[in-house]
Structure 1
Amino acid sequence: MLFNFVYFTPEYTQILVLAMLVGWLIDRYLGEPKPAWHPVVWIGYYLDYYGKRIAPKVADAEVLDEKHATKEFLLGAFFWLLAALVLLGVALKFQQAISVLAWYWQGLIFGILLKPLFSWCMLRDEVVAVEFALENSLNTGRQQLSRLVSRDVSQLQAREVRESAIETLAENLNDSVISPLFWFVLTGLPGVLLYRFANTADAMWGYRGERGGRVWTWAGKWAARADDVLSWPGARITALLMYLAVARMPTVSLWREAGVTSSPNGGWTMGAMALILDVRLSKPGVYVLHAQGAEVDSSHIRLAVKLCERAIWLWFVVASLCLFCF
């Protein structure tokens, strides 16, 4: 059986390694499935539908009391847990159903199902496109960046656009690649599906204050905390992989930079990126990482992408070796 918390059999290891290889090849050569077949898109529909029913509109939120805030929190937690339990149940049933197949068929099927739950090539292409857009004009660069971030980009200068792109790349190296693969190796299809749900829920619900005309401070609190917990190990693994990719080990500087941001996880990957590239990264009015670093220029997005690709290759090598030697 693939889902095994206790002990990795040789067959289990072969299934995991083959599935990751198949998923990586699909990501590289075929890309993302169409929206109609994309599980993350389906998750997004669910979150959008129920999010509008639990998060009050800005005008209504101004008169809400503590009792209503508690209700929003409980509703947010309920609809998060409801979807999580359904997804886990479906994934477990499916996993059990195909466990009778030969290991290579299981590996192939799981690789196909794994692919939509992690994404590197699309992330890389979107970030690289920011630099190409900046070569056209600052406004075009801002528009491309707005596809990647939720912050207001209208006042950002070219340096700040590049900084935001690199920060997004560093954060999503964990959120979109390493953490999904980590949970897949650890818990199989149920784990990676739960993680992608939690990460998507955080992206759509996990805000303090207003977004999209609604107030998410309480309605999205459970989703934000759940993602923090599930992303915690992956963020630190990602930062370590980035250092190992350049044959270095983290120093106390990384711990210091990781604490600059309010996120318990984002600071690790962004801080590692800033220190390794020796550049200054910031979110205006919020934080500055590696303040003494060089100013980001047109070459740094390419260098950041190259660093991430090395870290991903290192993940596959280390994960495969650990599985076979477990």
Structure 2
Amino acid sequence: MEVLTVFLLALLWDLLIGEPPALVHPVVWFGKLAEFFDGIWGRRSPAMDFLAGTLTALAIVSLSLLLAFIPRHLPFPLNYALAVYLLKSSFAIRSLHEHVSRAVTGDIEEKRKAVSMIVSRDVTELDEAHLNSAAIESLAENLNDSVIAPLFYFLLFGLPGALVYRAANTLDAMLGYRNERYEFFGKFPARLDDLLNFVPARLTVLLYLPFSGRRVLKYYRLARFKLNSDKPIAAMSAVLGVMLEKPGFYRFPGREPVNDDIRRALRAYWLIVAEWIIIVALLIATGVFPCLSP
């Protein structure tokens, strides 16, 4: 019941308040550290770059573990307060909705600006349909990365699991690119994120099944472009019946998405979030998973 209390309080914080200030946000710290190590390491050779990237990832993951165990050594109520704060920092339900909803606008330049804040691709030449697609894709992918996966690892390993996942996912977002600078320096972070997301990405697809099971499974079989990230995108495309496409990388069939489809995607998002919250709360309450106490 202690773990359930921490989970419910963290959930209330997220829904009512949103993200902590950047200055004291652990995930921002992880990103700043990754940026620091990236900046000071001059690229040398594939082997040395891979070693440096691996050590960077291990250092930041170790920091996340250290943070996660601090509450266990604090007196009541400080242990609960810090555990709630750290768990809330590992997932982002409200802020994801807020970021994506800004793309619902009839002003193409405002839409372009909003989408540029939530995707890494170049949006300067995208037409309106592909901007709408990018917003929905980001929502679908981050439903896994920012909600399903961190709470999945919280179920398995308690607060350390949630924070380690969030650190690994942040490292991948910052370093896991296939280009000259990050091909070797970012390889370990990218593969670590692939490993940690393998089960959650498919679990996310399962959560879509109550909406349109046969169609979701059909689109899931089409998702052969990436190891994990295209799976939740395929499921969202199936449920909405719209084309979701990152040119040159993947394309799921359907009509071109419009503003209203972003709204529909957000409604589907909240239904799946509610579904997952209920499942997590029930599993914690029944003691099915060996969550660590705060």
Q: Give yes or no for TM over 0.5.
A: yes
**Cα shift at 1:106:** 5.5
User: Looking at CA atoms only, which structure, 1 or 2, has the larger radius of gyration?
Assistant: 1
The aligned residue for residue 76 of structure 1 is 53
Matched, 1:276 2:263: no
In the aligned structure 2, how far is the partner of 1:251 from the partner of 1:28? 28
Matched, 1:248 2:221: no
Q: Give the counterpart of 1:36 among 6, 10, 23.
A: 23
The aligned residue for residue 223 of structure 1 is 189
Contact 1:145 1:165 in 2 (8 A): yes
Match of 1:256, as an amino acid?
Answer: R
Contact 2:68 2:86 in 1 (8 A): no
Matched, 1:313 2:277: no
Structure 2 unaligned spans of 5+: 289-294
Matched, 1:46 2:23: no
In the aligned structure 2, how far is the partner of 1:175 from the partner of 1:45? 19
In the aligned structure 2, how far is the partner of 1:141 from the partner of 1:251? 28
Contact 2:165 2:196 in 1 (8 A): yes
Per-residue Cα deviation, 1:8-53 (whole angstroms, up to 9, x for no partner): xxxxxx1222222111111111111111111111111100010123
Per-residue Cα deviation, 1:233-289 (whole angstroms, up to 9, x for no partner): 111111111223x27367641332221x2x211111000000111111101122111
The aligned residue for residue 302 of structure 1 is 263
SS of corresponding position for 1:45 = helix
The aligned residue for residue 5 of structure 1 is none
Against the structure 1 CA distance between its residues 227 and 207, is the aligned structure 2 distance closer, same or farther, given a 3 Å change threshold?
Answer: same
Structure 1 unaligned spans of 5+: 1-13, 57-63
Against the structure 1 CA distance between its residues 251 and 150, is the aligned structure 2 distance closer, same or farther, given a 3 Å change threshold?
Answer: closer
Matched, 1:181 2:171: no
The higher-RCO structure (CA 8 Å, 6+ apart) is 2
Match of 2:278, as an amino acid?
Answer: V
The aligned residue for residue 166 of structure 1 is 136
Contact 2:212 2:239 in 1 (8 A): no
| Cα RMSD, aligned residues only | 1.9
The aligned residue for residue 236 of structure 1 is 202
The aligned residue for residue 4 of structure 1 is none
SS of corresponding position for 2:259 = coil
**Cα shift at 1:108:** 5.2
Contact 1:235 1:266 in 2 (8 A): yes
In the aligned structure 2, how far is the partner of 1:295 from the partner of 1:280? 5
Contact 2:207 2:275 in 1 (8 A): yes
**Cα shift at 1:295:** 1.7
Against the structure 1 CA distance between its residues 96 and 209, is the aligned structure 2 distance closer, same or farther, given a 3 Å change threshold?
Answer: same
Per-residue Cα deviation, 1:185-220 (whole angstroms, up to 9, x for no partner): 21111111111110000000000015xxxx111110
Percent sequence identity over aligned pairs: 34
SS of corresponding position for 2:135 = helix
Matched, 1:267 2:254: no
Matched, 1:86 2:73: no
The aligned residue for residue 61 of structure 1 is none
Match of 1:22, as an amino acid?
Answer: L
Match of 1:88, as an amino acid?
Answer: L
Against the structure 1 CA distance between its residues 190 and 228, is the aligned structure 2 distance closer, same or farther, given a 3 Å change threshold?
Answer: same
**Cα shift at 1:223:** 0.5
